[in-house]
A and B are shown apart, each in its own frame.
Chain A
Amino acid sequence: MALPNLQPSFDAPIPGQSMVSELGARPWQQPSQYTTIEEAVDFYIAKMSSDDVAMQIEDILETGVSVADLAHVIQLTNVMEGVHSIDVGVLATPVLIEFIMLIGDSADIDYKTGLDEQSETVKKSMMNRAIKKFKEKQTSVESEDPIDESENSSKDDKINQLTGLMARRV
C-alpha cells in the first residue's frame, strides 16, 4: 500500500487566483462559438464520428466509465473551452449520451449507462435525510418528555404545599 505524501504541494493554485485574471481573458468569458443546439449537436456529431475520437470513447467505455459521466465531462470541457454555453451543453447532453451509446453498441462493448444509478443515489440520499429527520424528531420528543413530567410533579407539589387556612382545597 502506498503511503500518503506528507509533503505539501506548492503547485496548486492560490485560492482566489481565478478571480484576479482580467475579465474576458478566459475562453468561457468570451461569446461562445456555437449558440444554438443544432450547431452544438452538429459539432459533436462531426467530432465524434471520426475514427480517432470513436476509438478513444471505446477505450474509456471499456475502462468502466459510465456513458452519462463521459457525456457530462465532454460537454463541460467544451464549455470551458468556450465552444458553447453551459445551457446549450446541458441541452445537448442527451444527444451525446445517445451517440456514445451508439458508438458503444457498434463496438459491441458492455458499457454502463449510468442513468439508473442517479435515481438510486437520489433515493439513498432521500432515505438518509428522512432517517436523520426522524432521529432528530425522536430525540427532541424524548428531551421534551422529562420536562413535562417535572412540570406536572412541581404542580402537584405546590397543591400539596398549600396547607394554610385560606387555601383552596381541590
Chain B
Amino acid sequence: MNIELHINGRTVRREVDDRILLAEFLRHHCGLTGTHVGCDTSQCGACTVKLDGAAVKSCTVLAAQASGGSVTTVEGLAQGNTLHPVQEAFVQCHGLQCGFCTPGMMMAVEHFLRSCPASLDDEAIHHALEGNICRCTGYVNIIAAVRRAAAAMYPREWGHFAALAGEGA
C-alpha cells in the first residue's frame, strides 16, 4: 500500500507491503538507521520515535497505521549542527556507552521533557524511562542526563541541575 509520512520535516511517499513495521520502514526504506530494533516483544524501547507528537515504539506500529502522520526520529532532533539539549546532555553526562539504546532512550526523554516536568525526582524519571532498557550504563548517567537536559530546557525551574556531568544518582 501507499504510505505517506512527514518524517523529520520532509514528506516521504513509498509503496510498501501492508505489514511493514514503522521501524523497518524508517530503517530500510528511508535510510534512517538511527532508530534501532532491540527486541521483538515491545519491551526494550530502542525503536522509540515521535509519532504525531507522542513517543511510541516504532516496532509495534505498522507504517500503515502511521501513514498520514508526522514522525520525528533521532535524526530529526538536532537543529542543523546544534545538538538538541537532550543529545548534548547525554554526551556531557556519559549517558551512553555502546550507543544502541541511545536514540530510543533520548526520544523517550524528549517526550518526558516536552513540557516542563513537575518533578525530576528519581521516581518520576524511573517512571518516564520504564519503556527503555539499557544494558551498558546501569542508567545512572542517563538519569543525570535527564536532569541536565531539563536544566538546559527549563532554566528557570530546573536550572540548578545545570552543573551535572557524570554525577550519579
Chains A and B are bound partners = no
